[in-house]
Each structure stands twice: as structure tokens, then as C-alpha cells.
Amino acid sequence: MTVSGAILAAGLGTRLRPLTHSRPKPLVPIAGRPLIDYCIGHLTRLGIETIGVNSYHLADQLSDYTSELRQDIYVVEEGTLQGTGGGIREIASHRPYSTLVVINGDALFDFDIAPALEKHYSNGAMGTLLLRYVEPSAPFGRVGIDGNGRLHRIAEMDAPGADSLTLFYGAFTGVQIIEPSLIDMIPNGPCDVLRTAYKTVLGDKGPIFGQFMRPDSQWIDVGNVDRYLDAHRQILDGYFAVSHLPCADSQGRRISEKARVASSAKIIGPCVIMPEAQIGDGAVVGPYTFVDRGAEVLPNIELNNTVIWPGVRVTDSISNTVLYG
């Protein structure tokens, strides 16, 4: 069985506005790279060559970007939003006989998908949801599996006899592995894959499973501006591997050799200053500040817990925000 990749990226990015007014969410920069690059990296490390991406908001930008990035990425533009089910169905129609590894395009995580894929095959699964550990009282810990990993509950949907079982609960990470037999159960039109295909298999007590990722795994939904800033804080604190960034010094400062930093500027770690960025005299940058490529921070400006997008000129002191352009 061949394996293909799918990235669900067709949302409007409403919660992330205003950052998504002029670009689709998959192209919003996270630590100097478009968000979609992290998803593509996970799939590439699995040895997956063909990747499908669905799109809607500012779809032309995403098509242009992926066509320049790799020729084996295809974009399915949606005339109307199709939901997770419709998105998966249309992406899979281009590779109808493949196992599909699906990633929600707004998730940033560090766990390895390969062991889950191997377990998926050994289970003979139609579908596998990758789960993360959460506190028992967490409102989003709504996926229940038994001791063998078989799924018996997804939110309010139960398999027959679920109430009589001891179940272990986790939260869905937005990563799943699905077979053509499950994809065939997705109805036509816009729909949610969990509330259609998975619900059908749950009712039949079919072979669908959940797998917990390692407890120390990092995961964050980059769904709104606060979470966007939090993602950068976690990256700056070293929770995610980001080999494309400058190396950190003993104070957690990552300053590119190609950046221009005035001798009187004060740089406080953890922070990142990317190539071609300019930091003026007397400026104070950091902590928890990311200055992207070509950005300019004028003299005497103070930045704290801030993300500056590429090429943006900073003329006022700010904190706890994103300057975008």
C-alpha cells in the first residue's frame, strides 16, 4: 500500500485575524517559515512524496507557493468550504488507493508519526487518531480508547457497549491515518469526517484506533493571535527543534551574522534576530521577541513578547503583539 499525505488548510483563518487578512493561514510565518512548511516536513520525514492540500481563502497564494516549493504537492481549491470530511474526500480522490496521513494545517507539534503509522498497519486499522495526554478534567479530552487502543468514544458518539468499558481519554492532535475503506464512507458534500465516516465505523464496532503520543510531546493549535505568540515563546524556550534559526548564545539570543545590530542596542534573550534585520541605536529587543528577515527596528524602540514579520518597519515601542505586513 502506498502512503500519501494530506494537509487540511482550507479554513478562513477567522480566529487568527488580522494576520490572515492578506494571506492564508498556511502561509502565516511561524519562526521565519510558513506554517505549512512544518506540516510538509512531518510528511517528508515519513518518506511521503505526494502531498495534497485543500485551500479556500486566498487560494491562489497557496497554489503559487507550493508550486514553487515542490512539484509533488497538489492543491485542491474548494469553491465552498467542504469541512474535514469533504476536504479529505477530494484530496484522496487524486490518490484513491493510498493510505492517507492527514494533518490539520494549524497544528504545530514535535512528535514522530512513523511509529503510529507502523502500529496502524499492525492493527489492521481503517483509521487511527493520534492523541495527546490531557488532564482528566480537560474539556477537550473527549476521545476514549480501551487498553488495546481501539476507539469506543469520540466526543458524544459511542460505540455499542462503550459505557461498560474502562476507557482512557485523550485529545485529538489533528493528525490521523486513514485507509480508502474509511474514506469511501465519507458522504458527498461538506461534512465532518469524525461525525460521518468515523461515526459509522464506531456504530459497527469496526477497526478504528487511537494512539497516544509520548507524554512530553509538544503540541499547539496556532488558532488565534495569543496562541500564535505562545507558539513563538515555546520555540524560543527550546521546546521545538528549529534548525533554520541562528544558533543561541548562553543567554538564549539567536542573532544572525547577517543582521545589523547597533552597538548601543540591548538584546535580551530569549529572542531571535534574523538575517538582514536592522536594530537601531538604543533599541531594547526582548525577551521573547522574534524579528524576522529584513525588518527594521528604529532607534530607542523597545520590544517585548513581540513578533515582527519580514520587512516590517517598527516605529513605536510595543509589547505582547504582532506587527505584520
Q: What are the tens digits of pLDDT across the range 20-66?
A: 888 888 999 999 999 999 999 999 999 998 999 998 888 788 888 88
**Dist. CA 229–CA 233, nearest whole Å:** 6
Per-residue confidence (pLDDT) for residue 118, from 0 to 100: 96
Candidate from 78-82, 123-127, 288-292, 319-323 with smallest mean pLDDT:
78-82
Q: Copy the grid coordinates of residue 121.
A: 498497519
- Rounded to 5 degrees, what angle do the CA atoms 2, 106, 254 make? 105
Closest alpha carbon to 206 in 128, 130, 99: 128
Same domain for 177 and 29, yes or no, is: yes
**Which pLDDT band, with edges at 50, 70 and 90, does 237 fall under?**
very high
Number of domains in the chain: 2
Per-residue confidence (pLDDT) for residue 262, from 0 to 100: 95
Residue 240 lies in a domain: no
Same domain for 12 and 142, yes or no, is: yes
Closest alpha carbon to 30 in 227, 287, 232, 193: 232
Same domain for 184 and 263, yes or no, is: no
Give, for 36, the enclosing helix (H) or strand (E): helix 35-45
Closest alpha carbon to 227 in 105, 62, 108, 56: 108
**Dist. CA 203–CA 56, nearest whole Å:** 32
Q: Which amino acid, one-letter code, is at 192?
A: D
> Where a domain ends, among 206, 221, 236?
221
Same domain for 56 and 156, yes or no, is: yes
CB atoms within 10 A of CB 250: 6
Same domain for 142 and 217, yes or no, is: yes
DSSP letters for 262-302: -TT-EE-SSEEE-TT-EE-TT-EE-SSEEE-TT-EE-TT-E
Same domain for 191 and 59, yes or no, is: yes
Same domain for 168 and 263, yes or no, is: no
Residue 268 lies in a domain: yes
Domain around 264: 247-323
Whether the link from the prior residue into 18 is cis, omega within 30° of 0, is yes
> Where a domain ends, among 167, 186, 221?
221
Taking a C-beta distance cutoff of 8 angstroms, is the pair 43, 72 a contact? no
pTM, entire model: 0.90
Q: Copy the grid coordinates of residue 279.
A: 536594530
